[in-house]
Structure 1
């Protein structure tokens, strides 16, 4: 024991030493990876934010330029006066003035290459003029969302980005354009619902943003008032494999969001990570190798011996220590094997004696409830009753004969639950003919019908229910047999509505039944007394055959009835 204690202490010290060597390396590696990634993340984030803000400032400057140009047009009296107070700008009376407006708008689009189209819509008639389409007719223009927003703007600049999901998509507007709109005659206090619109191609913004695209897996999204405008890489598939590296910046009403796979962003730090992981893996392998050497030379043989003693003490008498050692540990292991073999021989001799005694006791118990000699007598009684035409006696005798025929079982020790219940029906029919004082009810779970149980387990219980319960009751009652499976255990209940058992006697029965265990008949030569013999016999057979997990429970209320529950473990000998 002192040697074992010293070895165990040494093993503990060595294990702690390995951990103290390994843990700092792992901790430093994890910290280095985290720290390098945080620095890289911060630097990349700062540079990316700067580039995105610069681009947004340019886009915002373009918006301000559109604001100035629309303001100049909307306040130009040469244009405003032509549209003021007219009913239809496309009528022949206004063709010259409208043509003049179209020329001025065309000159604007020629100067500013970003502006692809410019048009003015007369709100009352829905007619207007466009640099690309000439005269246009826009019925119900007042119902369009963009037009309503422009009216609400009261002369201020309104930016409209049509999308597939836009409310009330417009007739002359495209998803490829960004529209800048303003009411005409912004300087007047009484403005007519006339709107001028400048259409800027999204490709102009695309070219600006595309300069930030440094990877085919990068995607940059432009938004206006948090609404989608465009993106540089809509078909990117690698962004969704894991959570991407994402940065969002905002400038006025415009905002941009950049997304890129993290493995691309932290590609430079990945080599450092791999190198750190390699060092950690080598350290772990070295620690495991050293621990294995110590384990093989000292700890493993001690654990083998300890496990052998545990196996032997738990009842595994055939356990042997298998080894090929030639040292002191091998000598000790050989000594254990010799000691175990001698002890096993002694225990096996005693066990065979106890087993023979248990089998003899079991045969005796079973023979006490298997009256073979009655079968031939009942057959004779049945012949006499049939010849004398007494049907009640004939039916009683034939059912009783069937009961004893099944009891013999042709050498079988067990029957299915369905066969057992059918066997009990013969007995119950005899009792019903003798005294028609109860009805039976069978409730067997389908999963339990084919389970094997030891024969004649339920007969004494049913007999007690009829004789001591139902026959003593002044009222007609019923006897119910139920079965179910709960947590790998078969529950069979025999319940009657008889007179029940008084509380003091019930406690006495329970105390007597609690004395019966799976080893009571093997360890004591005493036989069960005649008091409660039937129940004791059943519980003794159950404990002897199924082991300690099997049980027999009794629950009763005086004047209401009795329920006896038989609990059999699944997978034990006797039923499957």
Structure 2
């Protein structure tokens, strides 16, 4: 903990300290909120459970009432005897009796408002009587599932709900809007052709009995019998708020009732308390942060300004000055820093100007030592004497050497195209061929790479190493290959020889020395030209200085087989400068 605080800034330390002070307050507030919400949840659950159980008691009472009434009618001899032992209740000689039964059923439905309609169906013929339709014909009634269920119940009350799904028992008389209470007529007597008594109760009557539970428009009450849904008071609310609903389901026998309501309605009061708690916590946190910020403005901010100023000056921005209007101790320190930075800048600029003047003097001295015109005229004189004395080899060497120096020192250009570079290099190679006389040269420039400009004299040190350290010491005739190719935005130039190659240890040493040169550390140590790897270091340092970090020099070598050096040069920057120079 101590090490973590030590690595934090002062502003974070202050803020962290104030927040630690708030932890007990936040903890108590969260506990009180959670505790009160738990109590409210228990109370709501208890009240809801009691209301649901009361509604289930109503459903069971209706079922018990239907059981008594159907039992009373099914055992009434005046009705039972009419349907007993007859082939067709709709025969002309039974019409009066059937009318009497219809009147009795109609009286029952008028007394009991819950009963929507009543039927008596003769099992043998499928004919019967209805309070709404009068005489009715119900073909193949014995084949329907509900009828078979009633027969199997042996006089017990059967509660049946029609369904509109395929194969669900839907028929011409039983409606989806009703729930039916069915019992065998004359259940006490074993008859080979049973008759049934049917009471149809509209689901709206049941819905009216549980409608009092729905206290809001977003609540939904569902009634089930034997796990089958009978009705829903508000199915749209269930679909709309399905992802965030409070649900409670209670069962009693075959009946079950479920209440669903959005949580934001139920826990509205507790959410207000919770919101108030969160607002209090938020205000406390903001107050702590605000207090820490005030202290930061007065104490920490000037320290951070000083720290940033030291970083800027340390990175080389010597002109950086701290802008402030303070007149306290921090202002005195900031003014002292500004004076120190200004003095440091002046000292460095004076030293830099001295070094720059010294470098210009050295460069001027070097230029005065190399007079291109004097060099060209001298080489031309040697060439004329060699031709006059019929010294063909000397004249050709002098001619190629003159061309080489003329391109190297002339035109005031720092870059040449790949094609011009190779042509210039061939003058030097020809001189070396005449000197050693035992190697051949092969040039392969990929189409499109010839016009790409590169720094001059990049390849000459590499070719010189290949000839002097590789091919010249071979007992056999060697080969020198110069290739170029373009891949994406990079130009690859390869110089490969079939000379002696390098031992693995020396190759590793060369690669390690070159790896130390980067775009930020490109200067070659000030050593004599005779120091090892000076030429390769010079090439890579110039490339890093001019092309940046993407430029690189790769060396591959195998002792006895030869060496290959690959220059990797970014194209885009050179192309832009080359096009600008042409314009």
The TM-score by the shorter chain falls in which range?
A: 0.5 to 0.7
TM-score under structure 2 normalisation?
0.64
Counterpart in the other structure of 2:479: none
1:256 equivalent in structure 2: 257
**1:311 is paired with a residue of what secondary structure?**
helix
Alignment of 1:270-285 (within 5 A): 270=271, 272-285=273-286
* 2:287 corresponds to: 286
Question: What's 1:517 paired with?
Answer: 518
What is the rounded CA distance, in whole Å, between the counterparts of 2:535 and 2:149 in structure 1?
95
Contact in 2 for aligned 1:138/1:171 (Cα 8 Å):
no
* Deviation, structure 1 residue 11: 7.7
Whether contact under 8 Å (2:117, 2:132) holds in the other structure is yes
What secondary structure is seen at the aligned counterpart in 2 of 1:245? strand
Do the aligned partners of residues 502 and 16 (structure 1) sit closer, same or farther apart at CA in structure 2, a change above 3 Å counting? Answer: closer
Q: Distance in 2 between the 1:339 and 1:514 partners?
A: 38
| Aligned-partner Cα distance in 1 for 2:120–2:565 | 95
Shift of 1:46: 0.9
Report the counterpart of residue 30 of structure 1 in structure 2.
30
Change over 3 Å in CA distance of 1:49–1:290 after alignment to 2: same
- The answer as to 2:129 corresponding to 1:129 is yes
In structure 2, distance between residues paired with 1:346 and 1:217: 81
Secondary structure of the residue aligned to 1:522 is: coil
CA distance in 1, matches of 2:528, 2:164: 93
Instruction: Please tell me whether the aligned partners of residues 445 and 485 of structure 2 are also in contact (alpha carbons under 8 angstroms).
Output: no
CA distance in 1, matches of 2:148, 2:355: 102
Q: In the TM superposition, what are the counterparts of 1:323-338 in structure 2 within 5 Å? A: 323-338=324-339
Aligned counterpart, 1:212: 213
Q: Do structure 1's residue 181 and structure 2's residue 194 form an aligned pair?
A: no
Distance change (3 Å), C-alpha of 1:546 and 1:438? closer
Q: Secondary structure at the match of 1:170?
A: coil
Say if 1:492 and 1:136 are closer, same or farther in 2 by CA, change over 3 A. farther
Partner of 1:67: 67
How many angstroms apart in 1 are the aligned matches of 2:302 and 2:141? 93
CA contact (8 A) 2:493 2:566 kept: yes
Asked if the contact 1:552–1:567 (Cα under 8 Å) also holds between the matched residues in 2, the reply is no
Per the TM alignment, residue 86 of structure 1 is displaced from its structure 2 partner at its CA by: 6.1
Deviations 1:156-213 (A, max 9, x none): 4433334555754623333322222345554466764754432111121122112223
Pairing 1:12-31 to 2, within 5 Å after superposition? 18-31=18-31
Specify the alignment match of 2:435 in structure 1: none
Shift of residue 555 of structure 1? 7.7
CA distance 1:55–1:552, shift in 2 (3 Å): farther
Match of 2:321, SS state, is coil
Q: Structure 1 residues 351 and 137 mapped into 2: Cα distance closer, same or farther (>3 Å)? A: farther
1:287-335 CA-partner distances (Å, limit 9, x unpaired): 2333233222212211221222233334444443222111110111122
Aligned CA distance change for structure 1 residues 439 and 101 (closer, same or farther; 3 Å): farther
Q: Cα distance, 1:115 vs. partner?
A: 0.8
Conservation of the 8 A alpha-carbon contact between 2:415 and 2:455:
no
Distance 1:127 1:521, change over 3 A: same
Q: Distance in 1 between matches of 2:176 and 2:282?
A: 55
Residue by residue, what CA displacement relative to the aligned partner does 1:141-167 show, whole Å, maximum 9, x if unpaired?
567565565566565443333455575
Secondary structure of the residue aligned to 2:213 is coil
Alignment RMSD (CA, Å): 5.9
Q: From the CA coordinates, give the structure whose radius of gyration is larger.
A: 2
Looking at structure 2, the residues matched to 154 and 220 of structure 1 have their Cα atoms a distance apart, in angstroms, of: 34
1:209-358 to 2 correspondence within 5 Å?
Answer: 209-236=210-237, 240=241, 243-270=244-271, 272-347=273-348
Alpha-carbon distance change, 347 to 106 in structure 1, aligned in 2, over 3 angstroms: farther
Contact 1:454/1:574 (8 A) holds in 2: no
1:211 is paired with a residue whose SS is: helix
Q: 1:522 to 1:564 in 2, by over 3 A?
A: closer
Q: Distance in 1 between matches of 2:356 and 2:61?
A: 101
Q: Cα gap change, 1:547/1:181 in structure 2, threshold over 3 Å: closer, same or farther?
A: farther
- Shift in alpha-carbon separation, 1:546–1:435, aligned structure 2, 3 A: closer
- The 1:503/1:140 distance shift into structure 2, 3 A limit, reads farther
Give a deviation string over 1:25-79, Cα, whole Å, max 9, x none: 2222222222221111211211121111111111122123223333444555665
Label 1:115 to 1:481 Cα distance change in 2 as closer, same or farther (>3 A): farther
In 1, the alpha carbon distance for the partners of 2:107 and 2:281 equals 71
| Equivalent position of 2:470 in the other structure | none
Residue 114 of structure 1: how far off its partner (Å): 0.4
For the residues of structure 1 that align with 2:83 and 2:573, how far apart are their CA atoms? 98
Equivalent pair of 1:239/1:261 in contact (CA under 8 Å): no
Q: How does 1:22-101 map to 2 (within 5 A)?
A: 22-74=22-74, 89-92=89-92, 95-96=95-96, 98-101=98-101
Counterpart-to-counterpart distance in 2, 1:238 and 1:208: 23
Judge conservation of contact 2:150–2:158 (CA < 8 Å) in 1. yes
Aligned CA distance change for structure 1 residues 117 and 496 (closer, same or farther; 3 Å): farther
Task: Please state if 1:197 is matched with 2:198.
Answer: yes
Flag structure 2 segments of 5+ consecutive residues without an equivalent. Answer: 364-406, 425-439, 468-475, 477-482, 578-583
Partner of 1:159: 159
Question: Relative to 1, partners in 2 of residues 1:211 and 1:310: Cα closer, same or farther, differing over 3 Å?
Answer: same
- The change in CA–CA distance for 1:150 and 1:241 in structure 2 (over 3 A counts) is closer
Whole-angstrom distance in 1 between the partners of 2:287 and 2:77: 89
**Cα contact 1:89–1:98 (8 A) shared by 2:** yes
